[in-house]
C-alpha cells in the first residue's frame, strides 16, 4: 500500500527526473551554421541555424530553379527582419526558437532533437504538422514564417523567369516638365 510519504517521495523524484530530462533536451545543440557574410543583423546564431534549416526545405529548388539556400534567402530574411519593428522582430525570433526547441518538438511532434538537427524529410514533416495543427498559434506562426520565406525567395530576380515574370520595366528618361 502506498502511503502519503512514499507518494510525495516518488512524486518529487519523478518531477526531478522530468525536469532534468527537459533540461537535457533544451541544452542540445542544433546543427551549427556559419553566420552570413557581414554577420547577423537580427537573429541569434541558434535562430539563424533554424532559419537556414527551414528555408532549405521550404524552397528546395529544382533542376531549373535555384534553391533558397543557393539564393541566400535566409540572409535576405535576416536583413528584412532587422528592418521591422522590435516587437515583430521578437515575435519572429520566438517562432524560430519554438521551432528549434526540442522540448516543444518532443511534446508536439515526437522529435527529441532540435529542428536544425533533423533530416530534411523530417523538417518538412514538422512544418506540415505545424500547418495542420489544432493549435491556432502554431498554424499562425508557421503561416507567418512561410509567408516571409516565400516573399524573400520569390522576390529575387533569379526566380522571376520561372514564374514567367520578365522583371520590372525600365523607366529611364522620363521628365516632368
Q: State residue 25's pLDDT score.
A: 45
Nearest to 117 by CA among 48, 39, 53: 53
Are the C-beta atoms of residues 71 and 153 closer than 8 Å to each other? yes
| Predicted local distance difference test score (pLDDT) of residue 16 | 46
Determine the pLDDT at residue 167: 86
What is the dihedral angle through the alpha carbons of 102, 103, 105, 109, rounded to the nearest 10 degrees? Answer: 140
pLDDT digits (tens, 9 = 90+) for 40-58: 999 999 999 999 999 999 9
Segments in the chain below pLDDT 50: 16-18, 20-22, 24-26
pLDDT for 11? 57
Given the C-alpha cell 542544433, which residue does it identify?
Answer: 30
Contacts of 84 (CB under 8 A, 6+ apart): 42, 92
Task: State the pLDDT at residue 170.
Answer: 83
In the structure grid, which three cell numbers stand for residue 176, read together?
Answer: 516632368
pLDDT of residue 98: 93
Amino acid at each position: 500500500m502506498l502511503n502519503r510519504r512514499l507518494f510525495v517521495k516518488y512524486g518529487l523524484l519523478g518531477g526531478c527526473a522530468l525536469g532534468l530530462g527537459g533540461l537535457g533536451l533544451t541544452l542540445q545543440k542544433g546543427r551549427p551554421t556559419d553566420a552570413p557574410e557581414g554577420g547577423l543583423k537580427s537573429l541569434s546564431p541558434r535562430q539563424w541555424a533554424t532559419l537556414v534549416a527551414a528555408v532549405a526545405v521550404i524552397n528546395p529548388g529544382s533542376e531549373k530553379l535555384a534553391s533558397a539556400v543557393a539564393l541566400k534567402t535566409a540572409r535576405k530574411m535576416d536583413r528584412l527582419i532587422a528592418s521591422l519593428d522590435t516587437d515583430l522582430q521578437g515575435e519572429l525570433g520566438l517562432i524560430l526558437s519554438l521551432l528549434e526547441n526540442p522540448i516543444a518538438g518532443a511534446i508536439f511532434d515526437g522529435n527529441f532533437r532540435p529542428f536544425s538537427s533533423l533530416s530534411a524529410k523530417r523538417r518538412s514533416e514538422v512544418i506540415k504538422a505545424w500547418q495542420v495543427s489544432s493549435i491556432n498559434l502554431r498554424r499562425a506562426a508557421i503561416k507567418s514564417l512561410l509567408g516571409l520565406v516565400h516573399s524573400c525567395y520569390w522576390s529575387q530576380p533569379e526566380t522571376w523567369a520561372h514564374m514567367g515574370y520578365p522583371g520590372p520595366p525600365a523607366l529611364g528618361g522620363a521628365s516632368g516638365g
